[in-house]
A and B are shown apart, each in its own frame.
Chain A
Amino acid sequence: MLIALHHIGQYFLLLNRIFKKPENFKLYWRQTLSEMVSLGLGSLGLIAIISFFMGAVVTLQTASNIDSPLIPDYAIGFATRQSFILELAPTMMCLILAGKIGSNIASEIGTMRITEQIDAFEIMGVNSASYLILPKIIAALLIVPIIIIYSMFLGVLGGAVVASYSDFSSMDKYLLGIRWNFTMFSIVYALIKTLFFAFIITSIPSFFGYYVRGGSQEIGKAATKSVVYSSIVILIVNYILTELLLM
């Protein structure tokens, strides 16, 4: 318990260092753009494949589980849209990104720590925590919502492809379901959650990487821990935000 409290305290102290005024805005912005490319573009392929097939499977599952003649066919499109926009895109995709981006960040910063590159920043008078982590957080806050919107689109598209090729529903009814009772708040809700998750999937792995001690084995452990803790925190925050925003 004491160790957990120590780590939580250390995490907030690190956040305090990260959000100090940058030494050179131009260099920080350049670093942010580069992080946007590496965090964003590097994840597009994986997210596209997962979203498309998950959308297709959700549509098939919904269709095969609706037996009652009282439930209209357009409910399939409606269920796909709701599940993708409200949960699968923001939460599931962020859990996947926590694995992909999180382990990458923890091992990158951890390697910099054990090869004394972080010490080199400190000797130059650069706030290493801020220079290395702040651009990653800002990049994720800017790029992850775009990835999630892209995931929503591809998930619904995956369902549409299944609807058009199978005989349980027609494309018209699927599209009607997609549009039925749509409120913009669903997207806003998903994006609010995404912003919190984007912060979590960059700051927690950065914390584990920044404080790594030892050698390559510890870097591996830090990467694993960062994925586990980010995922747990995402699930807890997801529950809290859902309570707050939907209830």
Chain B
Amino acid sequence: MIEIKNITKSFGQTKVLDDISNCFKQGEMNLIIGASGSGKSVLIKCIVGLHEVDFGNIEFNGRDFTKMSFMQRKEIRSEIGMLFQASALFNSLTVEENILFPLQMYTKMSNEEMLDRVNFCLKRVNLINVNQKYPAELSGGMQKRVGIARAIALNPKYLFCDEPNSGLDPRTGIVIDNLIMELTKEFQMTTIVVTHDMNSVMETGENIIFLHQGKKWWEGNNIEILKTDNKELCDFVYASKIMQKFKNQ
């Protein structure tokens, strides 16, 4: 479980996050949604420590990340896996080397054990015969899967996904969403997904928070989101004219 309390973050004079508190549950899909510029990516980067918060606390199972030393943070980070918007695979390394990297860096496994783990992770994301390929040789969807395989290589307790289906067609996007959901249930991870894709919201939104102008505007799940009267959320969900027509009916 990850709990954030009163998170505030500004860049210069611009307040990007304003007093956000929430509890992200273990073994469930926690979605952060909002329009572009609402602060979703900044929030996830604050939670993983890529940005320092100006005010507030971030607790990983009761351990306050904001008050930790560099070495203590390092320990928490070994429990974190992250899938980036553009996959962020190391493009000079093969798929196998990408997944091996965290294992070589942090475990004392033998080479055979590490290769077994790599093959297990690749099989788990339904990828075969790609071990020796470079990221540039893979499609966008395959790169996302390799990103997920790398993120789960160290058996993380916490999984963060920054717009996991951006740049993918809706069908592949849903396959990736379902894969993340399956892994979350299987390994009982606390998963936080940042998205503005409504297909993802409908498919996997167990716990959703909606950010608007840097504030937590709404909280609920994928059933409740369809029934909400919150104007800003409705503007976000029913953005197109055809969807507005559908809602009015």
Q: Which residues of A contact B (CB under 8 A)?
A: 23-24, 26-27, 115-117, 119-120, 122-126
Contacts and interface: CB of A to CB of B under 8 A. Distances in A.
Contact of B88 (A23, A117, A126): A117
Given A119-B50, A123-B48, A24 B105 contact: yes
Contact of A124 (B73, B86, B105): B105
A67 to B, nearest CB: 56
B85 interface: yes
Interface residues of B, number: 24
A126 B105 CA distance: 8
A198 B82 CA distance: 36
B36 interface: no
B84 A116 contact: yes
A119 B49 CA distance: 10
Given A116-B86, A117-B91, A120-B84, A125 B104 contact: no
Nearest to B104: A27
Interface string B112-129: 000000000000000000
B176 to A, nearest CB: 17
Given A23-B105, A24-B104, A116-B84, A122 B90 contact: no
Nearest to B76: A125
B209 to A, nearest CB: 22
B78 to A, nearest CB: 5
B140 interface: no
Contacts of B101: 124
A115 B86 contact: yes
Contacts of B48: 123
A49 B111 CA distance: 43
Contact of B80 (A115, A123, A126): A123
Interface in B80-108: 80, 82, 84-86, 88-91, 101-102, 104-106
B77 interface: yes
A23 B107 CA distance: 11
A120 B88 contact: yes
Given A117-B88, A117-B89, A123-B82, 5 more contacts: A115-B88, A120-B90, A123-B160, A124-B77, A125-B77
Given A124-B77, A125-B74, A119 B105 contact: no
A124 B102 contact: yes
A123 B50 contact: yes
Given A117-B90, A123-B77, A125-B77, A27 B105 contact: yes
A123 B74 CA distance: 9
A187 B136 CA distance: 45
A31 to B, nearest CB: 10
B84 A122 contact: no
Interface in B30-81: 45, 48-50, 73-75, 77-78, 80
B65 to A, nearest CB: 13
A119 B88 contact: yes
Nearest to B105: A24
A140 B53 CA distance: 38
A24 B104 CA distance: 8
A27 B73 CA distance: 22
26 contacts: A23-B105, A24-B105, A27-B105, A115-B88, A116-B85, A116-B86, A117-B88, A117-B89, A117-B91, A119-B84, A119-B88, A120-B82, A120-B84, A120-B90, A122-B49, A122-B50, A123-B50, A123-B77, A123-B80, A123-B82, A124-B77, A124-B101, A124-B105, A125-B74, A125-B106, A126-B105
Residue with the highest number of chain B CB atoms closer than 10 Å, among A24, A120, A122: A120
A201 B88 CA distance: 27
Contact of A125 (B78, B84, B160): B78
Nearest to A119: B50
B126 to A, nearest CB: 22
B39 to A, nearest CB: 17
Contacts of B89: 117
A27 B97 CA distance: 12
A65 B11 CA distance: 63
Contacts of A115: 86, 88, 91
B108 to A, nearest CB: 11
Nearest to B77: A125
A81 to B, nearest CB: 41
